Amino acid sequence: MGTERKVRIAVDSREPDEICDFLEACEAEIELRSLELGDYQISDEAVVERKTRQDFEASIIDGRLFSQIADLSASVKRVVVVVEGESSVGSRLSKAAILGAYSSLILDFGCSLFFTRSPQATAELVYALACHEQLARKRLFSVFAKRKAISVAQQQRAVVEALPNVGPKLARELLSYFDTVENVITAPESELAQVGRLGKKRAAEIRKILSTRYKE
């Protein structure tokens, strides 16, 4: 399955090792990190959300599924949902409820929905999707997935969230404290450390990223 140019796939660090092994067997370049959006980033515009069949059904029952997919589809242009595993015999949901969830993902949220039987089949699908995005469609792959067109405030938060160990809540706190992205970027380490729970260690990491000269 080799290609002249290897595809790159960012994998959430909580995903199973065996899927990473299968992806590497497909000759994909894997980048393990904590992904804010989805489980597999395959281009600047597309992410894959993987759920085992048991977790998929449990997330319908507790309401996680639709809030999670709403966040994903609001942030990324293309969301692919993969449901992995055989149909469970002792499902707590009726067939109508499960079909309703499938319908909502496709029609309400615009997701692409796929079903796989095993981690290997999931890896093969993710690899094929990444190849199509990066090799056939020539989509870029950057450190962070490109979000949909959003407001200035959302773009400001996205810039600050790109800093090391800064999540959505802390990004808001930093922007509220410093007022502008420029002020956050130029703030001294001592002042950064005073915001929220940032602390001295994370403030030092941020200053290091911002002040270190770039090298390939």
Cα angle vertex 137, ends 135, 138, to 5°?
60
Query: Where does 152-211 sit in CATH, by number?
Result: 1.10.150.20
Instruction: Please tell me the distance from the alpha carbon of residue 140 to that of residue 128, in angstroms, as a whole number.
Output: 16
DSSP symbol at 76: B
Are 9 and 38 contacting, i.e. CB atoms less than 8 angstroms apart?
Answer: no
Are 15 and 35 contacting, i.e. CB atoms less than 8 angstroms apart?
Answer: no
Q: What per-residue confidence (pLDDT) applies to 3? A: 43
What digits encode the pLDDT tens for the residues 68-124? Answer: 999 888 888 899 999 999 876 667 888 899 999 999 999 999 999 999 999 999 999
Token look-up 């449990």 returns: 58
pLDDT at 1 over 50: no
Which tokens belong to 4? 């002249």
The overall average pLDDT reported for the chain is: 87
Handedness of CA 66, 68, 74, 80 (dihedral sign): negative
Across the beta sheet with 29-33, the strand order is 29-33, 8-12, 40-41, 46-52, 78-84, 112-116
Compute CA distances 132 → 79, 106, 127, whole Å: 15, 21, 9
Q: What per-residue confidence (pLDDT) applies to 60? A: 93
Instruction: Please tell me the distance from the alpha carbon of residue 172 to that of residue 175, in angstroms, as a whole number.
Output: 5
Nearest to 48 by CA among 119, 140, 122: 122
* 8-136 maps to CATH 2.30.38.10: no
Instruction: Please tell me the distance from the alpha carbon of residue 12 to that of residue 39, in angstroms, as a whole number.
Output: 5
Q: Which carries the bigger pLDDT value, residue 33 or residue 174?
A: 174
Strands in the chain per DSSP E: 8-12, 29-33, 40-41, 46-52, 78-84, 112-116
Q: Whole-prediction pTM value?
A: 0.66
- Give mean pLDDT, residues 175-184: 94
Measure CA of the first residue to CA of the last residue in the chain; give whole Å. 28
- Bridge partners of 10, per DSSP, are 31, 41
Where in the chain are the domains?
Answer: 8-136, 152-211
